[in-house]
Amino acid sequence: MIEFDVIGLQQWIAGAATFDNVYEKTAAKALDAVMNEVMLPHTQRIVHVITGSLKASGKTVPAQIIGDTIVVGLRYGGFSQGVNNPVDYASDEFARGGSHDFLTPAIPETMDRIEDVLGGSFVTTVSLWN
């Protein structure tokens, strides 16, 4: 019997067996970059600055893989270098809406990048199969 693998089928099968683990790690790293490069800077540009405390409390939350879900986040509140430390009014400011809502305006721009990195993470994962 002669065996041959014209289209790399064995690599695809082996790659598919590890898809979740590799894809999730690749996507999580890419999503961290989006949060740091797009979401946080966008919110930092529009958050109200009176004392600087709320703005200084903004930070990204590193991506976590929980089961088959990748969780990314952005946090305002808590420890701050500003005069109001800790910041305990971030959710109240956000809830005021209008010009006080520093998160919602950042979502459309961020979602475009998220779609790009999820697709790119898929391509990167598959490219490792060859």
Name the residue with tokens 């939350």.
61
Tell me if 24 is assigned to some domain.
yes
Tell me if 11 is assigned to some domain.
no
- Decide if pLDDT at 119 tops 60: yes
pLDDT at 1: 43
Q: Is the entire prediction scored with pTM above 0.85?
A: no
Tell me if 2 is assigned to some domain.
no
Tell me if 8 is assigned to some domain.
no
Tell me if 26 is assigned to some domain.
yes
For 84-114, the pLDDT digits (tens) are: 889 898 888 888 888 888 888 888 888 888 8
**Cβ burial, residue 90 (10 Å; 0-12/13-18/19+):** buried
Confidence of residue 12 (pLDDT cuts 50, 70, 90): low
Tell me if 86 is assigned to some domain.
yes
- Decide if pLDDT at 2 tops 50: no
Confidence of residue 55 (pLDDT cuts 50, 70, 90): very high
In the chain, the number of structural domains is 1
Name the residue with tokens 């800790």.
86
Tell me if 6 is assigned to some domain.
no
Average pLDDT over residues 50-67: 89
Which two three-digit tokens encode residue 6?
Answer: 């014209």
Could you give the C-alpha distances from 29 to 12, 61, 72, in angstroms and in order?
23, 12, 10
Query: Which residues constitute the domain of residue 45?
Result: 19-127
Average pLDDT over residues 7-23: 65
Tell me if 97 is assigned to some domain.
yes
